[in-house]
Amino acid sequence: MMPAGSATWLWDKLNVFATVFLGIFVEAVPYLLLGTFASGLVEVFIDRDGMSRWVSHRPAAAAISGAFMGMIFPVCECGVVPLTRRLFKKGLPLSAGISFLLAAPVLNPIVILSTASAFGWGQMLLWRFVVSLIIAVVVGLVFSVQGEPDEVLLPVLSGGDHDHVHAGAGDSIGGKIRKALLITVDEFFDMGRYLIIGSLLAAGLQTFIAQSTLLSIGSGPVLSVLVMLLLAVLLSICSTVDSFVALGFTGAFSFGSVLSFLVFGPMVDIKSTIMYLQVFKRRAVAYIILIPFMISLIAGLVFNYFVK
């Protein structure tokens, strides 16, 4: 039988755990809902046929403009992969498409607002934006030497490139809105489980692991960054809500390590890697993963060692 003191300790810990978890989860849910609704509207209402005319075919200009396209298409990493493939079919240059693929989950307005809500309009928001933009442009320029998208894309199998919900050209506004809402509901419940998992882990780390243990890991300038990069991959949290989960680590982990989590996670995680492998050739996927990893690692180390 559990001693009374142990039972009291466990009950107190569970109360703290529930409070922290609900604080993270409840604060993040509106942004998840807003992000999925925006994705539904983009999917149904945005005409992508003219995108190729808006983007320069010069590698540097294409990479930069592709990165800023994320501010037009507010999609997270869950929706950006199939959207990028469709944009390639409309004539989007390869460098612009790759930059968009990596930048859109961070540079879109929903993520900017959620990051500001979690961390304020300060250094974390600024450097998340800047470092993500740098990574997206660099990787886009690397891919510009490939030439055409077909050189890095896998062939599409019959029936393998379709949306969950189609919007016909003759649909009424009400019909399109209904289809956008159906997409919203589908994505909300799909992404909600990742938010719950991430919130549970963040709450568990704060509640059941001694602060001295977390500080010994999180204060290390190198190990802290590597741990947060690993967590970014394993948690697979939607970029519309990852700021609230990252906020739970700020008391124990360094600025650079939390920044690396916020930069790398939207670009590479378990679910996005699986999607990359269904769209791109393996060598291209290796570049899409390794280059952002190295730059995120370097950025985290620079902030930990040189920025106070």
**Report field, pTM of the whole predicted structure over 0.75:** yes
Q: Is the pLDDT assigned to residue 161 strictly greater than 70?
A: no
Window from 29-33, 124-128, 226-230, 259-263 with minimum mean pLDDT: 29-33
Section 42-57 average pLDDT: 68
The pLDDT assigned to 176 comes to 85
Q: 165-214: per-residue pLDDT in tens?
A: 555 555 788 888 898 888 888 878 877 887 788 788 878 877 877 666 66
* More confident position, 93 or 85: 93
* More confident position, 22 or 99: 99
Section 1-26 average pLDDT: 79
The pLDDT assigned to 159 comes to 44
The pLDDT assigned to 55 comes to 76
Q: Is the pLDDT assigned to residue 231 strictly greater than 90?
A: no
Mean pLDDT of the chain: 83
Q: Is the pLDDT assigned to residue 226 strictly greater than 60?
A: yes
Q: Is the pLDDT assigned to residue 46 strictly greater than 80?
A: no
Q: What is the DSSP string of the chain?
A: ---HHHHHHHHHHHHHHHHHHHHHHHHHHHHHHHHHHHHHHHHHH---TTHHHHS-SSHHHHHHHHHHGGGTS---HHHHHHHHHHHHHTT--HHHHHHHHHHHHHHSHHHHHHHHHHH-SSHHHHHHHHHHHHHHHHHHHHHHTT-SGGGTBPPPPTT-S--SS---TT--HHHHHHHHHHHHHHHHHHHHHHHHHHHHHHHHHHHHS-HHHHHHHHTSTTHHHHHHHHHHHHH---TTTHHHHHHTTTTTS-HHHHHHHHHHTTTS-HHHHHHHHHHB-HHHHHHHHHHHHHHHHHHHHHHHHH--
